[in-house]
Amino acid sequence: MKKLLLASNNAKKLKELDALLAPLGYVLIPQGELGIPEAEEPHPTFIENALAKARHAARLSGLPALADDSGLCVHALAGAPGVISARYAGEPKSDARNNEKLLADLAPHTDRRAHFVSCLVLCRHTNDPQPLIAEGEWHGEILTELRGTEGFGYDPLFFVPALGRTAAELEPELKNRVSHRGQAMQRLLARLQGA
């Protein structure tokens, strides 16, 4: 098994990424297991934050590190919540409060288009001059009420017209294939195999 450090302590993100990597012989270790604290995420873009997290984890662990910075971008809200998706309603992080705030902010709008973004960065070592970077987008719209019990974050509000269901109504295997994170991981794996 090839070890990769996950620059996150998010158990649900770990589960999704682990399922995508396991068939290729990779095992993900959450950074918390090695006592590595969360990195600062001060940047305005997904790619900058993912790169900062991956470099931070690689530097403190000595292992190759994988980081995912992802979030929801809503057309009518000029891309918000964007990079602050996990903390949209403030600290402490709360999926329920984030969803409530999103519904309140979208209430005056008829345009419900949105997309999830995932930016994956793999630093093979601390000073990797060419980290592997892959992005994925998943397009849908925001409902006016929660539907489904799977997934996490904004999944119960994110409706995918092509599937006729919310992200929270999808089986984990299907979500892993079609989601923003699944798309980004397929691109990253293709780059890994060619690297």
Question: What integer best gives the mean pLDDT of the chain?
Answer: 93
Cβ–Cβ < 8 Å for 153, 142: no
Strand-pairing partners, residue 142, are 158
- Mention every residue, 6+ apart, whose C-beta is less than 8 A from residue 14: 6, 8, 28, 30
The pLDDT assigned to 21 comes to: 85
pLDDT at 2 over 90: no
Q: pLDDT tens across 159-193, in order?
A: 999 999 999 999 988 998 999 999 999 999 888 87
Q: Where are the beta strands (DSSP E) in the chain?
A: 2-6, 26-30, 65-74, 113-123, 132-142, 158-160, 165-166
pLDDT at 1 over 70: no
Q: pLDDT tens across 100-120, in order?
A: 999 999 999 999 999 999 999
Q: pLDDT tens across 16-50, in order?
A: 888 888 888 888 999 999 999 999 889 999 999 99
pLDDT at 195 over 70: no
Give the dihedral of Cα atoms 102, 106, 110, 113; nearest 10 deg: -40
Alpha-carbon distance of 68 to 39, in angstroms, equals 12
Range of the domain at 54: 2-194
DSSP helix/strand/coil, 126: coil
Q: If you average pLDDT over each of 9-13, 98-102, 190-194, which comes out highest?
A: 98-102
Number of domains in the chain: 1
Cβ–Cβ < 8 Å for 49, 83: yes
Q: Which residues are catalytic?
A: 69
Cβ–Cβ < 8 Å for 115, 138: yes
Q: pLDDT tens across 52-91, in order?
A: 999 999 999 999 999 999 999 999 999 999 999 999 999 9
Cβ–Cβ < 8 Å for 52, 39: yes
CATH number of the domain enclosing 112: 3.90.950.10
